[in-house]
């Protein structure tokens, strides 16, 4: 698919039909995440593919927003392997994981797979429940699957501020 088409077609899917995701599509999505840039090329991301009954039950305990997706990706980063900004106040962990997550989300759209980015969950509690090491921080969850018949973008999908409101040329 053309990149502009991918960006235009993607929307947050809030109801899935329960169909399984093909392994080849999941692999293509994960490969796009692997190719994402990270600060100093640290590649501190760790992606958990949550698809077993047990793992999905843990997702459902953490958030009401799985919407029946057969696969949920939890994108985490290793807090012991981040780039610290000059000044020492910020590091690249969440930044890098978010770039990876964006690659995953757009790659899903490119594969014809619907998705929804989630942050309505307690990352610490979910990490504990999934048994992640203490130094890994979950940044977001990505529902993946196929939209249920009759569903589509919410009304606010088409509502975007004009460039003139969000971009300043200096
Ligand atoms: C950072 C972020 C967090 C989000 N968290 C949730 C969430 O927890 N639950 C949910 O249903 N949708 C969530 N969404 C989806 C947004 O509600 C949706 O992207 C937004 O309303 C725009 O809709 P669109 O993606 O269809 O254009 C999130 C989106 C982003 C970018």
- At 119, which CATH number? 3.40.109.10
pTM over 0.95: yes
Q: What is the pLDDT of residues 134-146, one digit of tens each?
A: 999 999 999 999 9
Residue 113 CB less than 6 A away from ligand 1: no
Residue 71 lies in a domain: yes
Which 3 state secondary structure label does DSSP give 2?
coil
Residue 14 CB less than 6 A away from ligand 1: yes
Which residue among 9, 74, 116, 161 is best mutated to probe the pocket of ligand 1, counting the most ligand atoms within 8 A of its Cβ? 116
Q: Where are the alpha helices (DSSP H) in 63-155?
A: 93-110, 123-130
Closest atom of ligand 1 to CA, residue 153: 26
Closest atom of ligand 1 to CA, residue 121: 8
Q: What was the pLDDT predicted at 158?
A: 92
Residue 156 lies in a domain: no
Please provide the average confidence, as pLDDT, over all residues in the chain. Answer: 98
Residue 8 lies in a domain: yes
How many structural domains is the chain composed of? 1
Residue 66 CB less than 6 A away from ligand 1: no
Q: What is the pLDDT of residues 146-159, one digit of tens each?
A: 999 999 999 999 99
Nearest to 106 by CA among 51, 20, 17, 35: 35
Residue 169 lies in a domain: no
Residue 156 gets which letter from DSSP? G
């Amino acid at each position: 698919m053309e990149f502009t088409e991918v960006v235009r077609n993607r929307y947050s899917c809030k109801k899935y039909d329960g169909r399984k995701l093909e392994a080849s599509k999941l692999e293509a999505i994960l490969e796009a995440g692997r190719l994402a840039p990270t600060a100093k090329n640290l590649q501190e991301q760790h992606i958990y593919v949550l698809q077993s009954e047990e793992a999905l039950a843990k997702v459902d305990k953490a958030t009401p927003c799985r919407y029946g997706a057969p696969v949920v990706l939890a994108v985490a980063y290793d807090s012991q392997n981040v780039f610290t900004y000059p000044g020492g106040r910020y590091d690249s962990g969440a930044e890098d994981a978010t770039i990876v997550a964006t690659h995953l989300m757009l790659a899903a759209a490119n594969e014809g797979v619907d998705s929804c980015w989630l942050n309505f969950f307690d990352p610490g509690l979910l990490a504990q429940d999934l048994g992640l090491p203490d130094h890994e921080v979950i940044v977001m969850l990505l529902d993946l699957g196929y939209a249920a018949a009759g569903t589509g973008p919410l009304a606010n999908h088409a509502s975007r501020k004009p460039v003139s409101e969000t971009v300043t040329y200096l």
